[in-house]
Amino acid sequence: MKYVCELCGYIYDEATSPLELGLPEGTKFEDLPDDWVCPLCGAGKDEFQPTK
């Protein structure tokens, strides 16, 4: 599954992003800590929407 930041367009791809961000492999978006922010613009998880 992929999630896009509506502010900057960053895509969190559950298949690849965890490793790129230093997170455990397979970290699902919903399992990210509540205080996790977009690595590009600092937006909160609530600014992300699921995408294809």
Using CA atoms, how far apart are residues 46 and 25, in angstroms rounded to an integer?
A: 22
Residue 10 labelled as part of a binding site: no
Contacts of 17 (CB under 8 A, 6+ apart): 11, 23
Tokens of 24: 């455990």
> Is residue 41 part of an annotated ligand binding site?
yes
Was 38 annotated as part of a binding site?
Answer: yes
- 25 in a labelled binding site: no
Annotated binding site: 5, 8, 38, 41
Annotated binding site for Fe cation: 5, 8, 38, 41
